[in-house]
Structure 1
């Protein structure tokens, strides 16, 4: 049993387990522990906690991929991808994706452990990872600082476990995709570690496409529109023709977003009154919102107000991470939601299930709190952007050109109002790659939200998509 007390000693807990995936049972080894990051004087800087899974009986690791997984935030541990998607155990959910008490983990028949070994990484200040005593944790809390520390961890890990010869993949979700894109280039340039594949789930590479980061520019509004349409469709707020066919509604919405809506927004205050009114009516038609609300929003409906407004007459708030979810509004007169029903529906389940799994199955005991989410987002150092919008599609573009064998898997949820799928489409449509390199990108879409794998239907489809991609792109 590993007892993680400080950052001065590396400790591991090693256990052996069985799993059945695709009807085939096999054994795997789980190793939960920490690696110490050191400075130039070889003194400890930080302890990074990880959980690694290795399939037993593998004699040749040259054709056995290893996937380094992390979530986003910034400030999130890897718990969501760990017991939600990739790992050998998953938290028990209902079909829609709500936690089922008593919260527990079950065999994950959708795990990709049959295809690749897995390493789940908790960045410094998340999970059980901490800065060393006397070290300021803020030195790890930034775009470049974070990439550097995770890159150092990966180099140490493949050295410790002798995996330099394995195909290496990165898997990130949300801000984890920001990290993954930068990390792929960093490892290539600074460590000469060439990555074979990058898995981007609920991607955010170009922060100009997000409302939260884009006050004063109109780009996000057309990119959010298709997700508004999908959400309105799910909650039966569209006209009868659109309600019959979501794909038709989405295609028409995307066409409008790229043409008349963008043209209207680009005219700013100079838009003719007739064009303004026509755009108001069209947006109401696509979103299920009232023309009056859209006019008061000056054609620019931000996602938080959308969450409050769509079902306001029912006193319901829409989920931001997953707009399929609703919850009773705490304050009916507010313009902005005071909570996210989709976040509340799953966080308790993941927290309880993982902490029990950590102690009971992985045999890890610690006097520290396992921080599912650490409050470091607001203090994150974004100075890499240098008074611009952070855009990590640039390092991804660069490394894909330098390493033409690098393959990219992109997964997006139709009901994700945090990182909308059309914003991801926009980003990848502007990577400026040749047609041949564009073939190295596989785009996939799911009928769920930010963590689409909480819905069993999407989890099943994602497993199939990942298996096809790994077998064809990574192990041809």
Structure 2
């Protein structure tokens, strides 16, 4: 009798509302299903003087954990010639940050449309911002795939995903390489010529991704070219810390070109003063810095005078700074007598601070002078023309990746010197058909051109397969009309030269 009562009680419990609630709880623990969004449009345009029909595709790519849980949704926007030709090159492109969406290169340089903003270092003002056909797009020579890593653009991490799995030098490279392999496979492009490249941290990413794609024993993805725009590979060139003299050496040529542009230094051209500054930086200036307090007074005087001639700063100021002027101080000091600061991304730009007596600028006039136009353009193009539907905001510069980024490399000690350039050297040595194109702006303090030169001029880099081009603007040289067209011609020639 007792057993029958217990059995009945158990059966009642199983049929009760409380027990019925257990099932949804179990189901809720299962991985959420994401149906990737894909939108296509068939369009046409004239690029490089050729009429090209192409298919634009914006799509979500879902990356999952080993147990099948969706962890990251990465959005790609591709432009592929129609009808498809698998013998055409394909160029995989991203921006930097980390945390920057591909809006800058897509809507400013290589996509079929571009946003029109002032070309002469003026603020882009208020909307509307014209969205124009872009004859400088590379669609006449290559299919284009723009990638927004997690935390950038419309791409995101799903709820509960550990940021460490995607935000970092190696984690980010693995995710991007996975998306590239998947795109190649889904589009039947394994035997197409392949190019890989980006801007700023995107050049760092390129070094890491090429290690992922070509660094394994099996399943290598062969690459034909790397395209580095505003290069940062060796991070000793970042803002200096006490005892690190390299940053002063690397940024000196940028100070000279900025001083020349603003009439504070004399030379026949930016190229001329850049070369004078290179030779001085790597010679007498480096020697003086390394001598420290053993630097003789007469040698110090000679170095100080030449430093003043090149930078446009007074000898008094240089002496007070111990010959070591940080970039932040330079932005503020160069045009202090005019009540102006200069830009970091592009030192052609000027701004006005609240306090002209301060040590450093309030903000970077070369960034706030362009950002609104680009954000408006990518949203209008992706949502209204390509039909992408989302309530997510486009992250032109997302904060989460940078805040959570893991900057160390596995197998290296804590605080180890960060230089990813050797990964490019290794790939070039092991792939005789791999070439590298490097584009640098003379007015770019974010990724100084002299730093890029030093990072790729060391032992282990086949110099006959590295091509250098320089432009009369800054970090985003394509915002200047002349430089955008020249950059397009230079990369077009690089791709055709294979």
TM-score (norm 1): 0.93
Which residue in the other structure is 1:423 paired with? 451
- Counterparts of residues 462-473 of structure 1 (less than 5 Å): 462-473=487-498
The answer on whether the counterparts of 1:7 and 1:47 sit within 8 Å (CA) in structure 2 is: no
TM-superposed deviation, 1:7: 7.3
Max radius of gyration: which structure? 2
**1:219 equivalent among 246, 264, 267:** 246
What's the CA shift string for 1:354-390, capped at 9, x where partnerless?
1111111111121111111111324311121631221
Residue 294 in structure 1 maps to residue 318 in structure 2: yes
Which residue in the other structure is 1:16 paired with? 42
**1:168 equivalent among 160, 175, 194:** 194
What's the CA shift string for 1:209-257, capped at 9, x where partnerless?
2226x55311121221111111011101114xx2x33333222221111
Residue 455 in structure 1 maps to residue 480 in structure 2: yes
The answer on whether the counterparts of 1:125 and 1:137 sit within 8 Å (CA) in structure 2 is: no
Q: Would the alpha carbon gap of residues 396 and 215 (structure 1) be closer, same or farther in structure 2, given more than 3 Å must change?
A: farther
User: 142-151 vs 20-29, which deviates more?
Assistant: 20-29
Q: Would the alpha carbon gap of residues 161 and 97 (structure 1) be closer, same or farther in structure 2, given more than 3 Å must change?
A: farther
**1:260 equivalent among 279, 284, 287:** 284
Which residue in the other structure is 1:236 paired with? 263
User: 63-72 vs 96-105, which deviates more?
Assistant: 96-105
Residue 86 in structure 1 maps to residue 94 in structure 2: no
RMSD: 1.6
TM-score (norm 2): 0.89
- Counterparts of residues 47-446 of structure 1 (less than 5 Å): 47-58=73-84, 60-61=85-86, 63-96=87-120, 98=122, 99=124, 101-190=127-216, 191-211=219-239, 215-239=242-266, 242=267, 244-375=268-399, 376-384=401-409, 386=413, 387-433=415-461, 437-446=462-471
SS of the residue corresponding to residue 391 of structure 1 reads: coil
What's the CA shift string for 1:367-414, capped at 9, x where partnerless?
111111111324311121631221111111111111111111100000
The answer on whether the counterparts of 2:250 and 2:450 sit within 8 Å (CA) in structure 1 is: yes
In the alignment, structure 1 segments of 5+ residues that lack a partner are: 1-5
The answer on whether the counterparts of 2:75 and 2:148 sit within 8 Å (CA) in structure 1 is: yes
The answer on whether the counterparts of 2:163 and 2:404 sit within 8 Å (CA) in structure 1 is: no
Q: Would the alpha carbon gap of residues 416 and 358 (structure 1) be closer, same or farther in structure 2, given more than 3 Å must change?
A: same
Which residue in the other structure is 1:3 paired with? none
